[in-house]
């Protein structure tokens, strides 16, 4: 057993919650990354002598543990080969497409798997070193699914939680993975495994029963060593109050007015904000909007579609192909349908700070979120949080996890172009009273179930996980 460290709560994630930046004097500093996960866990870390383990970015650099913004941060380094094989390879070209319903074809390479195992062991070793005796360790996401079992082997005294931020696939898809059993056993090192939706938890339980052979009952797995593992849904959320405060601020309101002015003050502004990813359904939604103009249902002088596509994984071939396809589509639509000063699509391939995002949410009348598959999709919730006047419309894919909670959105099947066109037009033409009724109900959901509540519920449940089950269970199948 590894000697214990001093942290009573350890967060283990692929990335540290800080980004490097160049200070005015030319030296490098660290600033906090934007994102709900950091804001949700920061107060918990501070209250529990906590530490955050993650990759700081860059390759072949070794950083000592450091403190940034009062947080104890423990870097884990990656080599250039590991970045290519563990991160771009197994995590994002094998697991990501497999877990997103094989929207793109997953690649299975043995050397990628070996790199994944090696890097997961490095994260587990670091967590074992940092965690105090009987500490709680919370491991996050698909890049680190082997860490729970590796960490339990090193430190059986720890209470271990795991949370998967992306969808967990149906059994027929997961079974394509050559290392399916190793991944399942890796996750079973945790005491509590959290998923975005109940269906993901049920898929996991079914696979454990079928592929590993453990006895299960509802959301529980009974292991031969006497441990009980629980798999359940904990839908993630955002810091709703923080987004609303930002949206109400004078600079954001002023910027929202500037955005509408720059767009020519159209009657309605449609908005999409996504990472440039093949799972997000960007191409289909722009095509649907273009067809509404071609059909004469919407005029370019009345409406514009603002699409922000944040650069993502640009070294991966599929992402480069997608960018080229969307560039061509936007060019064709604007060439065929736009007028001088009135483009059909205002397209930006760049990332923006939170203040600009909030201004875009305030400027937009209709938010369009149409992923082919998404674990949750926090953009939908961010838009709702920013609509403090109870106006605005949300067109949302039923294959986003958020659709389970935001039932009052205009829900669509992103594979059905005609259905998407009908929903976009309905949202465009909806009377103010109808928009307000739907938005009020969605805002109530987002405000009541914020990210702090999500983190508290998961950690409370983890602290109450039962120990030995005392049952006689059949051994796992060979």
Could you report the per-residue pLDDT of 135-159, keeping only the tens digit for each?
A: 999 999 999 999 999 999 999 999 9
Supply the pLDDT for residue 34: 63
| Angstrom distance (rounded) from CA 319 to CA 107 | 15
- Please indicate, yes or no, whether residues 225 and 83 belong to a single structural domain of this protein: yes
Supply the pLDDT for residue 1: 53
What are 215-226's pLDDT values in tens digits?
Answer: 999 999 999 989
- Please indicate, yes or no, whether residues 212 and 290 belong to a single structural domain of this protein: no
Q: Which domain holds residue 54?
A: 7-236+455-463
Q: What 3-state DSSP class applies to 141?
A: coil
Supply the pLDDT for residue 476: 34
Res. 21 pLDDT band, cuts 50 70 90: confident
Supply the pLDDT for residue 35: 63
Tell me the mean pLDDT in the region 1-14: 85
| Angstrom distance (rounded) from CA 273 to CA 281 | 11
pLDDT at position 478 over 50: no
From 191, 277, 365, 374, the catalytic residue: 374
- Please indicate, yes or no, whether residues 34 and 89 belong to a single structural domain of this protein: yes
User: For residue 171, what are its two tokens?
Assistant: 């059994």
Strands of the sheet containing 366-369, edge to edge, are: 345-348, 303-310, 268-275, 366-369, 393-397, 410-412
Does residue 468 form part of some domain?
no
pLDDT at position 475 over 50: no
- Please indicate, yes or no, whether residues 211 and 252 belong to a single structural domain of this protein: no
Res. 468 pLDDT band, cuts 50 70 90: low
User: For residue 390, what are its two tokens?
Assistant: 């109870």
CATH of the domain at 20: 3.40.50.2000
375: left (phi over 0), alpha (psi -120 to 50) or beta: alpha
Q: What 3-state DSSP class applies to 148?
A: helix
Res. 477 pLDDT band, cuts 50 70 90: very low
- Please indicate, yes or no, whether residues 25 and 139 belong to a single structural domain of this protein: yes
Q: Which residues pair with 53 in a beta bridge?
A: 12, 74
Give the count of domains, the chain.
2
Yes or no: say if 57 and 19 are a contact pair by the CB < 8 Å rule.
Answer: yes
- Please indicate, yes or no, whether residues 232 and 302 belong to a single structural domain of this protein: no
Q: Euclidean distance between the first and final Cα of the chain, in Å?
A: 27
Cβ neighbours for 267, distance < 8 A, ≥ 6 positions apart: 302, 303
- Please indicate, yes or no, whether residues 267 and 291 belong to a single structural domain of this protein: yes
26: left (phi over 0), alpha (psi -120 to 50) or beta: left
- Please indicate, yes or no, whether residues 346 and 230 belong to a single structural domain of this protein: no
Yes or no: say if 396 and 403 are a contact pair by the CB < 8 Å rule.
Answer: yes
pLDDT at position 162 over 90: yes
User: For residue 140, what are its two tokens?
Assistant: 């996050």
Does residue 100 form part of some domain?
yes
Task: Count Cβ atoms below 10 Å from residue 21 Cβ, excluding itself.
Answer: 9
Supply the pLDDT for residue 469: 54
- Please indicate, yes or no, whether residues 163 and 212 belong to a single structural domain of this protein: yes
Residue identified by tokens 């992103």 is 414
pLDDT at position 473 over 50: no
Does residue 2 form part of some domain?
no
Weakest-pLDDT range from 179-183, 300-304, 470-474:
470-474
- Has 214 been annotated as catalytic? no
Please provide the average confidence, as pLDDT, over all residues in the chain: 93
| Angstrom distance (rounded) from CA 397 to CA 403 | 7
- Please indicate, yes or no, whether residues 146 and 229 belong to a single structural domain of this protein: yes
Question: Element (H or E) spanning 441, and its range?
Answer: helix 432-448
Tell me the mean pLDDT in the region 350-368: 95
- Please indicate, yes or no, whether residues 202 and 59 belong to a single structural domain of this protein: yes
Question: Element (H or E) spanning 113, and its range?
Answer: helix 110-130
* Total residue count of the chain as it appears in this document: 478
pLDDT at position 194 over 50: yes
Does residue 346 form part of some domain?
yes
- Please indicate, yes or no, whether residues 229 and 245 belong to a single structural domain of this protein: no
- Has 165 been annotated as catalytic? yes
pLDDT at position 377 over 90: yes
pLDDT at position 389 over 60: yes
- Letter string b/e over residues 101-120, b meaning 16 or more CB atoms within 10 A of that residue's CB: eebbebeeeeebbebbbebb
From 63, 109, 125, 165, the catalytic residue: 165
Supply the pLDDT for residue 248: 98
């Amino acid at each position: 057993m590894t000697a214990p460290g001093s942290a009573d709560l350890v967060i283990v994630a692929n990335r540290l919650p800080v980004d490097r930046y160049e200070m005015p004097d030319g030296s490098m500093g660290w600033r906090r990354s934007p994102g709900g996960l950091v804001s949700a866990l920061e107060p918990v870390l501070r209250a529990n002598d906590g530490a955050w383990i993650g990759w700081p970015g860059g390759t072949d650099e070794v950083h000592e543990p450091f403190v940034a913004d009062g947080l104890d941060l423990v870097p884990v380094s990656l080599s250039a080969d590991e970045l290519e094989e563990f991160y771009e390879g197994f995590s994002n070209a094998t697991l990501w497409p497999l877990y997103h319903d094989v929207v793109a074809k997953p690649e299975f390479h043995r050397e990628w798997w070996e790199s994944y195992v090696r890097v997961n062991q490095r994260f587990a070793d670091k967590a074992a070193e940092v965690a105090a005796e009987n500490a709680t360790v919370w491991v996050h996401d698909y890049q680190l699914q082997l860490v729970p079992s590796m960490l339990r082997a090193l430190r059986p005294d720890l209470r271990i939680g795991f949370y998967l931020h992306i969808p967990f696939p149906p059994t027929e898809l997961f079974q394509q993975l050559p290392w399916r059993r190793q991944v399942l056993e890796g996750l079973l090192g945790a005491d509590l495994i959290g998923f975005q939706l109940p269906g993901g938890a049920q898929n996991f339980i079914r696979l454990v029963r079928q592929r590993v052979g453990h006895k299960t009952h509802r959301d529980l797995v009974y292991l031969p060593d006497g441990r009980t593992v629980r798999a359940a849904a904990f839908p993630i959320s955002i810091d709703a109050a923080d987004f609303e405060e930002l949206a109400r601020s004078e600079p954001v309101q002023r910027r929202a007015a500037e955005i509408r002015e720059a767009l020519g003050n159209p009657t309605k502004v449609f908005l999409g904000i996504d990472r440039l990813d093949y799972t997000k359904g960007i191409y289909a939604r722009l095509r649907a909007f273009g067809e509404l103009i071609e059909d004469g249902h919407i005029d370019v002088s009345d409406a514009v579609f603002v699409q922000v596509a944040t650069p993502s994984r640009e070294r991966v071939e599929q992402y480069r192909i997608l960018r080229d396809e969307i560039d061509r589509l936007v060019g064709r639509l604007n060439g065929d349908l736009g007028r001088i000063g009135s483009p059909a699509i205002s397209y930006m391939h760049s990332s923006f700070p939170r203040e600009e995002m909030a201004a875009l949410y305030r400027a937009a009348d209709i938010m369009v979120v149409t992923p082919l598959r998404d674990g949750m999709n926090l953009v939908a919730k961010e838009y709702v949080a920013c609509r403090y006047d109870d106006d605005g419309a949300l067109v949302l894919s039923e294959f986003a996890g958020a659709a389970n909670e935001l039932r009052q959105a205009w829900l669509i099947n992103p594979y059905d172009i005609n259905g998407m066109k009908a929903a976009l037009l309905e949202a465009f033409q909806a009377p103010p009273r109808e928009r307000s009724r739907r938005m009020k109900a969605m805002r109530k959901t987002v405000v009541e179930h914020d990210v702090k509540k999500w983190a508290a519920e998961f950690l409370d449940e983890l602290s109450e996980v039962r120990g030995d089950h005392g049952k006689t269970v059949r051994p796992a199948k060979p």
